[in-house]
Amino acid sequence: MSHTAHITSHRKPRRSASKMALRAGVAGGVLSTIAVAGAAAPANAEPVHETTVEMPTLTDAPAKPASTVSTAAEATQQIAFEYDRQARQEAAAETALKDAKKAKAEADRKAEAEKKAAEARQKAEQKAAEDRASRSSDRSSLRSYSAATPASSSSSSSSSPSSSSSSSSKSTATGSAAAVVAFARAQVGDAYVMGSTGPNAWDCSGLTQAAFRSIGVDLPRVSQSQSTAGTQVGLNNLKPGDILYWGGAGSAYHVGIYVGGGNFVGAQNSGTGVVERPLSYDPPTGAVRVL
């Protein structure tokens, strides 16, 4: 028989299976938690030392909500847009006002110019009518004089040797020359217009051509050709009806008609028109005799 047969066993009594399973589960959970925490922590993590940091004291007003800031920005943008639009409108109105003033000034200027032009036309027409009436009267007188020229020439020469230059020219012009002189004098007062050949406006060669055409003599149209259309004569041997020229023979720039008594008739320029003047007024270069 064993020595320990009658000795009470020193083993602890067996725990039930359910308690063992519960304890195993709790232990497993604890160990799992420890394992997960250990895995998450850095391998060489240093111990954390607690530090106290003093935070700054905020004195500003609390921040406005985002919706309030957005509304203020939109309002500012709208005000800026309105100012810009108003400035553009004012600039456009100012430009329009300047343009209107300029247009009005231009319209006033044109109206004034048209008014003056109308007045000038009216005066010119009135003067032209008076001149035409005067020329008609002169032509009638000259026709009557031309018909009586031979008789009056001798009586005038014997009775009044000291007569005026105009009377002297009339007394010495006879026949065709008298008709040329009469035609030229009848145009005195007409306008000078370059290229014109009558009946109320002339240039210099147009007038001489028309005067000689009145007696059936055709002259060239221009001054250069008229200055060589006849026989060259000296200025101290002139006769009524001679053609005077200024410039060289064949290159003359102006012509006129000698009417006797030291005078000539010519379409001088736009300022004087057709005039009768003494030779000293504008001494000619030479003369030709066609008749």
Domains of the chain and any CATH numbers: 148-289 (3.90.1720.10)
Render pLDDT for 11-31 as a digit per residue (tens, 0 to 9).
555 555 555 655 655 555 655
Chain segment 150-205, per-residue pLDDT in tens: 433 333 333 333 333 333 334 477 889 999 999 999 999 999 999 999 999 999 99
Asked whether 223 and 255 are in contact (CB, 8 A), the reply is: yes
Q: What is the mean pLDDT of residues 205-225?
A: 96
pTM: 0.45
Tell me what the mean pLDDT of segment 57-79 comes to. 71
Three state DSSP letters for 37-54: HHHHCCCCCCCCCCCCCC
Q: Give the model's pLDDT for residue 275.
A: 97
